[in-house]
Amino acid sequence: MKQLLVLCLFVFTSFSVFAQSASLVMGKAETRETRDYDPATAVEGTFLFPTAFGKIAVTNTSHSKLLDKVEIYRVELVYSKYPKTNNFQEIQQRKLNMARLEELEKTAPQLFKANVEWEFVAHVVNTASQARELYHGFVVYYKMKEEKKVEKTENNETPEKPEVPQKPEIPVPTFAYNDESEEATFIKEGKPKPNSTYQVFDRQDWKDVVVVCDWTASMYHFATPVLLWHNQKNSQSDTSSIQNFVFFNDGDDTPNKEKKIGSTGGIYATKTGNTDEALQMMEESKAAGTGGDFPENDIEALIYAQKNYPEAKALVLIADNMAAVRDIKLLEQLTESETPVHILIARTEEIDLIRPEYWDIAIQTKGTIHTLEKDISLEEAIEHKKRLDQLAAMSKRELKKLERKERRKMRRRKGEF
């Protein structure tokens, strides 16, 4: 009997560690009231699972197939609320929220893992017409899954790893630019590996570009092949299209709370664009710090490149899709010079998982987007952004269809729906 009790306790405890339920979320989630909420302004990557006003069903579940490919860390249930409510209306709202949670759990059980944080957001408005224009539903926050790091053994030797034919790793240089180290030799004499940023540059017909590279710790092996490509092109009769390099690390080791939009710093740039100088700037940037938190100062670095290299015909941003763009509010300032920004996305091949701010940068500057395997033209980027906007606005279209039907009900009903 005792063993059975222990077994039951173990099973129950194990289940509670790995999963939540709709009722559990309903019971423990905190509620935040606000008059100013817009899911499109989220700095991290988001999926929207909208519901119609006063309804249970999730109107768009197309993102559910992508949930296993990312790390979900937060979900918000957003609904509208009138300032004056009574107990009956509050009970009805709780029932509606519970039904919505149960509906979502059927569609996307991944969102109910134990490590996912939940919050309810009550968007406070004054009238029913205002409520009908609001977003209702779930906002899912995600980040790209971390790549596994190679641990070193006691004798400081890296253990052997199984071969991965699709995405072989590229050596990360130690950036001793003036010696004969193996890493420096790789840059100067190495051979390109398949499925790397080397091939992205090889596919393009860019002329006189400046490469602006996220040089935080997780991005080292994405920039290295670009420098290899640059060095090999300059060693041949066909010269490289790269004029110069700008490396940014989001403020060196500046504490996150002290970072200011537009002046975060941590930017290192070449004057001649030759390989030795680029290696030196890489080394200095790496020694100064790795940036700290996830968001990066991409726009600040791009504006720096515009001002310091006015002859450049385009900028190429090597961007970490795991990191939000900290200073996206500076985008209008970036577009003043009309220099196209081509964005090379690292750490995802899923087009639907590319952060919305990168689409905005490419479109607003009349640039393009590239993954290691795909090239997306400006026209294709515009069409894709339209599709994303349509998905985000789907609940509003549903509300328009239901407007006449709901109008009579709303005249008789007051409360938070």
Pairing of strands 242-248, 341-346: unpaired
Contact 239, 233 (CB under 8 A): yes
Shared domain for 275 and 340, answered yes or no, is yes
> Which residue from 170, 171, 168, 198 is spatially nearest to 182, judged by alpha carbons?
171
Of 26-40, 103-117, 184-198, 240-254, the range with the lowest mean pLDDT is 184-198
* Pair (329, 199) in one structural domain: yes
pTM: 0.61
Query: HEC string of the chain?
Result: CHHHHHHHHHHHHHHHHHCCCHHHHHHHCEEEEECCCCHHHCCCEEEEEEECCCCCCECCCHHHHHHHHEEEEEEEEEEEECCCCCHHHHHHHHHHHHHHHHHHHHHCHHHHCCCCEEEEEEEECCCHHHHHCCCCEEEEEEEECCCCCCCCCCCCCCCCCCCCCCCCCCCCCCCCCCCCCHHHHHHHHCCCCCCCHHHHHHHCCCCCEEEEEECCHHHHHHHHHHHHHHHHHHHCCCCCCEEEEEEECCCCCCCHHHCCCCCCCCEEECCCCCHHHHHHHHHHHHHHCCCCCCCECHHHHHHHHHHHCCCCCEEEEEEECCCCECCHHHHHHHHHHCCCEEEEEECCCCHHHCCHHHHHHHHHCCCCEECCCCEECHHHHHHHHHHHHHHHCHHHHHHHHHHHHHHHHHHHCCCCC
% the chain with pLDDT above 90: 33
Strands 209-214, 314-320: pairing is: parallel
346, 376, 404: which is the final residue of a domain?
346
Query: Residue 348 contacts by C-beta under 8 Å, 6 or more apart in sequence?
Result: 144, 321, 354, 371
Q: Is the pLDDT of residue 173 over 70?
A: no
Please tell me the distance from the alpha carbon of residue 258 to that of residue 250, in angstroms, as a whole number. Answer: 12
The CATH number for 313's domain is 3.40.50
- Is residue 157 in a domain? no
Number of domains in the chain: 2
CATH code where residue 110 lies: 3.30.1330
- Domain for residue 285, yes or no? yes
- Per-residue pLDDT, 205: 93
pLDDT at site 176: 44
How high does pLDDT run on average in the chain?
78
Q: Is residue 97 part of a domain?
A: yes
pLDDT value at residue 190: 66
Q: Are residues 194 and 337 in the same domain?
A: yes
Q: pLDDT by residue (tens digit) across 37-47?
A: 766 544 456 77
**For residue range 275-302, what is the model confidence (pLDDT) as tens digits?**
889 988 988 888 887 655 568 899 999 9
Residues 137, 194 share a domain:
no
Determine, yes or no, domain membership for 362. no
Q: Which of 40-49, 68-77, 167-176, 286-295 has the lowest mean pLDDT?
A: 167-176
If one compares 151 and 291, the residue with the highest pLDDT of the two is 291
Q: pLDDT class for 159, splitting at 50, 70, 90?
A: very low
**pLDDT bracket for residue 163 (50, 70, 90):** very low
406: containing domain: 22-146+391-412
Q: Could you tell me if 75 and 192 lie in one domain?
A: no
In the prediction, which pLDDT does 264 show?
A: 92
Residue 16: inside a domain: no
